[in-house]
Structure 1
């Protein structure tokens, strides 16, 4: 394996002046490759009835208080976003950050966001249909000065996005996908692919099942890339932890074992949730920081990496 990146997710639950700013600055100090946040209007219990701030304003603030760390969503979805308005906001955020933005993007789910605008929750097929139109249109909007489009779900009429993204030809997409249609979108439009693993393997509670399931997903992604005439190695492969049986934040050695196993499969970016007491993401923050500072170095020393990701 060549390299592995280590990134984090900072949930937008703190007021900016009451610890919010500090988390993003500390993420940069710890050397994380990217600091992501969720793009929801609200999220599951216990977050549903507590503080929850908007992703894009939070990332804009983070961009102005950091210098080097990449920033991004993990993930944005069509549940309450429209490609035209989203593209303008992303173009602006990419400019403000000096070209440090990655858009994690997925089809969305049936959670609270799905009905927040008053619509009925879409079926899985409807979500996939919308996502299949959303991603290519967003690609066009961020890649060209003027865009017109009439689709089944979205329209754009002579939309201007000038001067374009700081990153060329546009900011990178990290496409979340576990099914055939999603894999095809990742292969055609993504610079990276995101997975949280396989829900069926998750239910078994067996880390070996989880590892095997992600391996099968990587194989299917590779097949989609070949079908699209693309080298699978061109796509970064991102694992968002916290939803599988593994517990990488239990200790540095636990992280090293888990990250090494997934790196062997082809995962080249591991994302850890910043610990949040009293939630499913509760963990010892001291261990989390030790992993950030030493985890990849230990993998390299053990010969499981040839280099840390840049």
Structure 2
């Protein structure tokens, strides 16, 4: 299981110092997010100060863009990073796509499937010097003058990974992508009983297995060297779990754990803006189902026990202020298990 670092969302767009340090610290990969900054700008900068660490977006918003623009970005970044890019894409939710980005929204799973197929058709046209003729339900790409075809490079298209929680999107990830980005709001049970079976169904559609398929986790971690650090981490994680549990898009995780009523209650409180009350409703049992709690050695052992046979790589999801040295200690502990 590879150990990755996610660039803090509160950090600047220029992440070169963080990424260069991650490479020196021995991380296998670094992921950028699309929150306050464009993840592709950060990846381009990261590529200029690193040599071997893998670089990925977790995630870039597909529906805020179009397949042609993402194909060009992916192609150029792969060249700049000399083959180290992981193109992680996600949908976001309808309100953000339609009201923040002003872009169309419909049938997200079907649209994402077609988005990835369009990406591959564009890349194939460039690689094989063949006419571009992709005609879908949502995207049509039939014009590719030679003047606009990027120069070929020896690294090929980047692997495509899809963020997925529900079964429909997860199955599509298995069918058309090279990997899946598991959401931080998940559990060991959900991965075993829902995610893996859906991925296998998707792979079976194209006559493939999960061999070589990347399953990337962003596991919520409550870690501390002492009780004071642990308590601070618990507060942050409890709030984050309450936020996700209030969102209908993640209700399937709650349903599996017989917490449907909790989801409804949290959703009502979120609409009323009662965020502090929400966190108090997340009981310890469910918190420990979502997050791993303990000192670095304890977290490392539990992470390997719970996810070591499922995840091919993992990053630590710590939604609270944390000492970077503690994160490094945790990474060392995971590698040692």
**Pairs within 5 Å for 1:19-38:** 20-38=15-33
Residues 249 and 144 of structure 1: is their aligned pair in 2 closer, same or farther, counting only changes over 3 Å?
Answer: farther
Residues 220 and 184 of structure 1: is their aligned pair in 2 closer, same or farther, counting only changes over 3 Å?
Answer: closer
From 206, 209, 214, give the equivalent of 1:231. 209
Residues 259 and 143 of structure 1: is their aligned pair in 2 closer, same or farther, counting only changes over 3 Å?
Answer: farther
Q: 3-state SS of the aligned residue for 1:241?
A: strand
Give aligned pairs, total.
263
- Larger radius of gyration between Structure 1 and Structure 2: 2
* Alpha-carbon distance between aligned partners in 1 of 2:75 and 2:215, rounded to the nearest angstrom: 24
* Alpha-carbon distance between aligned partners in 1 of 2:153 and 2:92, rounded to the nearest angstrom: 25
Partner of 1:303: none
Structure 2, unaligned stretches of length 5 or more? 221-239, 242-286
Residues 295 and 195 of structure 1: is their aligned pair in 2 closer, same or farther, counting only changes over 3 Å?
Answer: same
Higher helix share: 2
Q: Could you say which structure has the greater relative contact order, defined with CA pairs below 8 angstroms and 6 or more residues apart?
A: 1
* Alpha-carbon distance between aligned partners in 2 of 1:249 and 1:27, rounded to the nearest angstrom: 24
For residues 29-58 of structure 1, give each alpha carbon's deviation from its aligned partner in whole angstroms, at most 9, with x where no partner exists: 11111101113xx4xxxxxxxxx2211111
Partner of 2:279: none
**RMSD after superposition:** 2.5
**Pairs within 5 Å for 1:210-249:** 210-216=187-193, 217-242=195-220, 245=287, 246-248=290-292
Partner of 1:163: 151
Partner of 2:281: none
* Alpha-carbon distance between aligned partners in 2 of 1:84 and 1:135, rounded to the nearest angstrom: 11
- TM-score when scaled to structure 2? 0.70
Question: Quick check: 2:161–2:181 contact (8 Å CA) kept in 1?
Answer: yes
Structure 1, unaligned stretches of length 5 or more? 43-51, 203-209, 300-310
* Alpha-carbon distance between aligned partners in 2 of 1:158 and 1:85, rounded to the nearest angstrom: 14
Partner of 2:62: 78
Partner of 1:148: 133
**Pairs within 5 Å for 1:259-270:** 259-270=303-314
* Alpha-carbon distance between aligned partners in 2 of 1:68 and 1:127, rounded to the nearest angstrom: 34
